[in-house]
Amino acid sequence: MDSIQEARKIRPQHKLSAGRISCKKDKAKMRTIGEHAHDFLKQSFRPVTALMNPSRVVIKKAKESFINSIQNLASLYGFKPNLVSIKKYPFCIAELFANTQAEMIKRSANVELLIVQEDDGYPVIATVKEIDIGLTLYYVPLDALRFLHQREKGDTFNLLLSVYSYLHHIAGMPLLNTSSYIQGEYDMMEQSYSDNEDEFEEQEYRGIMEVFTAAKRYSSILNKHIANTTNLLDFINRIEQFKPADDFDANLLSLSKKIHALWRQFPDEKFASNNAGEFLHPDEEDDRAYIDQFFSFCWASDGWMMDQLLEWVNCELQEKTIFDVPFSIQKFETPHTEIIHEFSFQKQLLELLNELADILNDLYA
């Protein structure tokens, strides 16, 4: 997916001849199914203090639990831990954590350290790694379905519909509806054009409003189709019975087989099964970007409507310092023989979304 500022075109670009309403801030990089630049905020984590008014026995067990977990971590990552602290509980935990964090930065800067509690309430150290999403906005256009339906490519429409149904029901991609982030952006765009009606020729303004009206109407219809689980149940039958009529069909069939295989391999996995933002940065609501801001269905993937959407999203996301992304956590209450931070499903899914973008790029050719 393209780098931000260079929104990829699925059709030749159509620009408005007047009255472009745009953000005045500097753009981050962007692309369609597209991308944006961001930096994850790095910060340390204070120790768990939920053990209220602990007895000496509890304090001793808490310190032993935490020191044991540090030793397990150090053994796996190959360093000698500094386990000396003259501070009282819980400040000794904070000092030991800081010492360990300094050692880990030397060895594995791409993981975060934090303190978690076991079921017994005692603290242990853990590593957390966030997936690298490739600085990409993964926006999948509903308009592709309408395009196929209007051209009476029924079998192709149904196969792509099954792909979209998988993305919604299994992968967890939000639909384009009144509660979605992307629809909210479209609504604000529409309102901005309405507020600036006098900047456009009458016919041009009417055409802009008709696009927004059509997008709402057709997305509502297509949402119902995507939400219909029959399209999932029929997915494999559609793959087996599909007869490609052209290169687009052949490429779509190949992609559909890969997506169905991913579904079999990870039958219950969602892209956002775990996301790190609220977990790692619970007090940063105003500076947080959420998964549905870069992983969602949209309406059209080219032309002035996508250009405007990217500008609006771009202006919002460049103000964010924290991005909710899938994460993996490894707790060290027991020894480990290998580092376990796996994103096999998410990485395969994103690769397939990139492939889908390339296929849809040829749809209108």
pLDDT in tens, 121-177: 789 999 988 887 766 789 999 999 999 999 999 999 999 999 999 999 999 999 999
Closest CA to 170 of 240, 251, 229: 229
Length of the chain: 365
Longest dimension (CA), the chain: 79
**In the predicted model, what is the mean pLDDT of residues 237-254?**
97
**In the predicted model, what is the mean pLDDT of residues 265-286?**
68
Please give the C-alpha separations between residue 365 and each of 2, 10, 11, 12, 156, in angstroms, as whole numbers: 19, 8, 7, 9, 16
Ranges 47-51, 278-282, 297-301, most confident: 297-301
> Residue 325: which pLDDT band, with cuts at 50, 70 and 90?
confident
Which of the two residues, 21 and 236, has the higher pLDDT score? 236
Q: Look at residue 48 in the predicted model and tell me its pLDDT.
A: 47
**Segment among 244-248, 277-281, 361-365 with least mean pLDDT:** 277-281
Q: Identify the sign of the CA torsion 312, 316, 319, 324.
A: negative
Q: Identify the sign of the CA torsion 243, 244, 249, 250.
A: positive
- Structure tokens given for 249: 């069909």
Q: Give the mean pLDDT of the chain.
A: 82
Closest CA to 363 of 135, 150, 136, 138: 150
- Would the pLDDT of 324 be above 70? yes
- Would the pLDDT of 12 be above 70? no
- Would the pLDDT of 34 be above 60? no
- Would the pLDDT of 194 be above 60? yes
Closest CA to 345 of 235, 279, 259, 229: 259
* Helical packing angle, 154-169 and 143-150, nearest 10°: 160
Q: Look at residue 37 in the predicted model and tell me its pLDDT.
A: 31
Kindly report, residue by residue over 346-360, the tens digit of the pLDDT: 999 999 999 999 999
Q: Residue 174: is the preceding peptide bond cis (ω within 30°)? A: no
Contact 258, 352 (CB under 8 A): yes
Q: Look at residue 141 in the predicted model and tell me its pLDDT.
A: 95
CA 328 vs. chain centroid, Å, equals: 14
> Residue 281: which pLDDT band, with cuts at 50, 70 and 90?
low
Q: Look at residue 21 in the predicted model and tell me its pLDDT.
A: 37
**In the predicted model, what is the mean pLDDT of residues 244-272?**
95
Contact 127, 98 (CB under 8 A): no
* Helical packing angle, 202-227 and 143-150, nearest 10°: 90
Q: Look at residue 282 in the predicted model and tell me its pLDDT.
A: 55
Cα angle: 217, vertex 204, 180; to 5 degrees: 35
- Would the pLDDT of 229 be above 90? yes
- Would the pLDDT of 219 be above 90? yes
Which of the two residues, 69 and 320, has the higher pLDDT score? 69
Contact 124, 340 (CB under 8 A): no
**In the predicted model, what is the mean pLDDT of residues 96-125?**
86
**Segment among 47-56, 200-209, 262-271 with least mean pLDDT:** 47-56
Q: Using CB atoms within 10 A of its CB, is residue 227 exposed (0-12), middle (13-18) or buried (19+)? A: middle
Q: Look at residue 284 in the predicted model and tell me its pLDDT.
A: 55
Q: Identify the sign of the CA torsion 328, 333, 339, 340.
A: negative
Q: Look at residue 343 in the predicted model and tell me its pLDDT.
A: 87
CA distance 26 to 314: 9
**Segment among 69-83, 93-107, 297-311, 315-329 with least mean pLDDT:** 315-329
Which of the two residues, 49 and 301, has the higher pLDDT score? 301
